[in-house]
Structures are given as C-alpha cells and as structure tokens.
Amino acid sequence: MGNHRSHILEEPERWLDLYGDELYRYALIQVHDASQAEDMLQETLLAALQARDRYTGKATVKTWLTSILKHKIIDHLRKQMRESPRDDIDERLDKAMNNEATDNLFDARGHWIITPQDWGDPEKCLQQAHFWDIMCRCMARLNALQSAVFTLREITGLSNEETCKELAITTTNYWVLMHRARMSLRQCLETDGFDEDRIG
C-alpha cells in the first residue's frame, strides 16, 4: 500500500506537530519528569530521522515512533535503577525482603491496623480527575526500584519475565518490588485522601 510510507517522507518537524504532545505525555507518565520527557522526545525524533530509510510502512508512523520511545524509556528506567549505588540497591532489596515496610500495617495476628477503604466502583473511580491527580503524584513518589518495576510492567506493558530481563533482577526481587510498589501506591492514594473526596 505504502500510504504510511509516504507520510514518513514528510518533514520530521511534522512528526513533532502531529505526535509531539502524545509522545511527550507517554514519556511523562512513565518518567514523571518534564525535562527528561522532553529529552526523550527529542532523542526519539532524532533516532527516527536517522532510521527513516528503514521504516517499512507496515506500522503507522505513530506506532513506529512510540516503539522507539518505548526503548528509550526502558533504557532510562534501567539506568535510573543501576545508578542508585549498588549497595543501596542490595540494602533496599534486603529491606524489601524482610517485610519491614508492611509489617506496621498489620497487628501481631496479621489483621489490618488501618482498614483499607472502599474506593467505590472501579469504573467510576477512573472517571474522576481527582483520582488521576493523586495517582500520578503517588507514582512519582515511588523509589527508583519500585518505580522501574511497576512502570515497565503496568504502563509500558511488558510481561513479568520481560521486566525481570530488562532490569536484570531475579524473579523473587521482582515479586517483592512489585508488591511493595502496589502497597506504597494504595497507601499513598489513601493518605492523599482519595477515598474521602470520593464522589457518589
């Protein structure tokens, strides 16, 4: 057909006009830092410009650009995780392993100390702008390790095996970090008053 291919011959500046916002947002929800997201968008467009001849036209330009950006995000999260000093990672993993962070959520008999709140109907919950404000803020507050694991698995959409491979962590570490990330997020959403301000 080649109708996708003809698009690619347009000026790359047009990619910026057409897909800039969307690609920027896609990066922003995963790296939570505006200037990082800007840099990634720029790198993506430059990489695309260089690889322009190899674009086959099988995917849409948007899909093609998104897949380049996805790799940049994975590299970034991997680097972010590695850049925490090695000791720090080991220490944090140890901490994550021996339940320190969630022990204080339960009493000696394993009952909740603070009862998890009813967030209401999931469908309705996601319709509220308020929910997304807090969700994005809470994701940005995860530590580098939890953030990398949660983001790659849940937003980038890698499988759990792929996430382990990309971040070079063991399955056990993966399970623990993922659980920690979920526990931190739900606690953050509750403390930031998501349940209190719930509408209907």
Partner 1 sequence: MNWMFSCKQVSVLVSAALEQKPSWTERLRISLHLLFCKACRNFARQMTILRTAARYLADHMGDLDIPTLPSEARDRIRKVLHRCEPHDNGPKS
Our CB check for partner 1 shows the closer of 22 and 89 to be 22
**Block residue for tokens 């399970």:** 175
Nearer to partner 1, 83 or 161 (CB): 161
Rounded Cα distance between 10 and 112, Å, is 59
The b-or-e profile of 88-117 (16+ CB within 10 A means b, else e) is: ebeebbeebeeeeeeeeeeeeeeeeeeeee
Residue-level length of the chain? 200
When the beta carbons of 3 and 115 are compared against partner 1, the nearer one is 115
Instruction: Tell me which residue has tokens 């990330």.
Output: 181
Strand partners, 112: 106
CB of 157 to partner 1, least distance (A): 7
Please report whether residue 74 would count as binding partner 1 according to CB under 8 A: no
Which amino acid, residue 13?
A: E
* 115 forms part of the interface with partner 1 (CB under 8 A): yes
- C-beta closer to partner 1: residue 80 or 99: 99
Of 73 and 81, which CB lies nearer to partner 1 in the complex structure? Answer: 73
Site string for partner 1, 133-172 (x = CB under 8 A): x-xx-------------x---xxxx--x------------
Structure tokens given for 68: 């380049």
Give me the least distance between CB of 200 and partner 1, in Å please.
Answer: 16
Question: Is residue 9 a contact point for partner 1 (CB under 8 A)?
Answer: yes
Residue 21: what residue type?
D
Distance of CA 108 to CAs 5, 112, 115, 135, 180, Å?
64, 10, 15, 31, 20
200 alpha-carbon distance from chain centroid:
29
Q: Which residues bind partner 1 (CB under 8 A)?
A: 9-13, 16, 20-22, 24-26, 28-29, 34, 38, 41-42, 45-46, 49, 102, 105-106, 109-112, 115-119, 122, 125-126, 129, 131-133, 135-136, 150, 154-157, 160, 175, 178-179, 182-183, 185-186, 189
